[in-house]
Amino acid sequence: MDNATTPIGEGTVTMGLDLGDKHTQVCVIDACGDVIEEARLRTTPSALRRRFSAMPEARLILEAGTHSPWVSRLLEECGHEVYVANPRKLRLIYQNDSKSDRVDAEYLARIGRLDPALLAPFRHRQAATQADLALIRSRDVLVRARTRLINHVRGAVKSVGGRLVKCSTPSFAEKALPHIPEELDPALTPILEMIETLGAQIRSYDRKIEELARDRYPETTILRQVPGVGALTALTYVLTLEDPARFPDPRAVGSYLGLRPRQADSGNLSPQLHITKAGDEMLRRLLVGAAHYILGPFGPDTDLRRWGLGLAERGGSRGRRLALVGVARKLSVLLLRLWATGEAYEPLKNANRKRHSLSASA
pLDDT of residue 1: 41
**CB contact at 8 A, 321 and 275:** no
The mean pLDDT of the chain is 90
Structural domain that includes position 75: 14-119
pLDDT of residue 179: 94
Number of domain units in the chain: 3
pLDDT of residue 14: 96
pLDDT band per the 50, 70, 90 thresholds, residue 227: very high
Q: On the CB side of 35, how many CA atoms lie within 13 Å of its CA?
A: 14
Task: Identify whether 4 is part of a domain.
Answer: no
Task: Identify whether 7 is part of a domain.
Answer: no
Do residues 265 and 319 both lie within one domain?
yes
Task: Summarize pLDDT for 283-332 with one digit per residue, the tens.
Answer: 999 999 999 999 999 999 999 999 999 999 998 878 999 999 999 999 99
Angle between helices 319-341 and 281-295 (to 10 degrees): 110
Task: Identify whether 260 is part of a domain.
Answer: yes
Per-residue exposure over 72-89, b if at least 16 CB sit within 10 Å of its own CB, e if not: bbbbeebebbbbbbeeee
pLDDT of residue 37: 95
Do residues 260 and 191 both lie within one domain?
no
DSSP state of 266: B
Q: What is d(CA 286, CA 335) in angstroms, rounded to the nearest whole number? A: 13
Task: Summarize pLDDT for 143-155 with one digit per residue, the tens.
Answer: 999 999 999 999 9
pTM reported for the whole predicted model: 0.81
Do residues 210 and 229 both lie within one domain?
no
Do residues 246 and 341 both lie within one domain?
yes
Do residues 140 and 70 both lie within one domain?
no
Do residues 158 and 113 both lie within one domain?
no
How much of the chain exceeds pLDDT 70, in percent? 91
Do residues 102 and 158 both lie within one domain?
no
pLDDT of residue 131: 94
pLDDT of residue 33: 92
Instruction: Examine the pLDDT at 169 and tell me if it is beyond 80.
Output: yes
Task: Identify whether 357 is part of a domain.
Answer: no
pLDDT of residue 118: 85
Task: Identify whether 360 is part of a domain.
Answer: no
Do residues 236 and 321 both lie within one domain?
yes
Q: On the CB side of 123, how many CA atoms lie within 13 Å of its CA?
A: 16
Do residues 234 and 336 both lie within one domain?
yes
Task: Summarize pLDDT for 43-94 with one digit per residue, the tens.
Answer: 999 999 999 998 999 999 999 999 999 999 999 999 999 999 988 777 666 6
Helices (H), the chain: 45-52, 68-77, 91-94, 101-114, 127-158, 172-176, 185-216, 220-223, 231-241, 252-256, 281-295, 303-314, 319-341, 349-361
Average pLDDT over residues 218-241: 97
Distance, CA of 302 to chain centre: 27
Residue 29 phi, psi dihedral angles, 5° rounding = -125, 150
**Residues in CB range of 134: below 8 A, 6 or more apart:** none
pLDDT of residue 347: 95
Task: Identify whether 343 is part of a domain.
Answer: yes
SS3 84: strand
Do residues 241 and 304 both lie within one domain?
yes
Task: Identify whether 206 is part of a domain.
Answer: yes
Task: Summarize pLDDT for 5-16 with one digit per residue, the tens.
Answer: 455 555 689 999
pLDDT of residue 261: 78
Task: Summarize pLDDT for 81-134 with one digit per residue, the tens.
Answer: 999 998 877 766 666 677 889 999 999 999 999 998 888 887 888 889 999 999
Task: Summarize pLDDT for 179-222 with one digit per residue, the tens.
Answer: 999 999 999 999 999 999 999 999 999 999 999 999 999 999 99
Of the candidates 101, 119, 137, which is a domain's last residue? 119
pLDDT band per the 50, 70, 90 thresholds, residue 269: low
pLDDT of residue 120: 81
Of the candidates 119, 151, 170, which is a domain's last residue? 119
Residue 273 phi, psi dihedral angles, 5° rounding = -110, 170
Supply the Cα-derived Rg of the chain in whole angstroms.
25
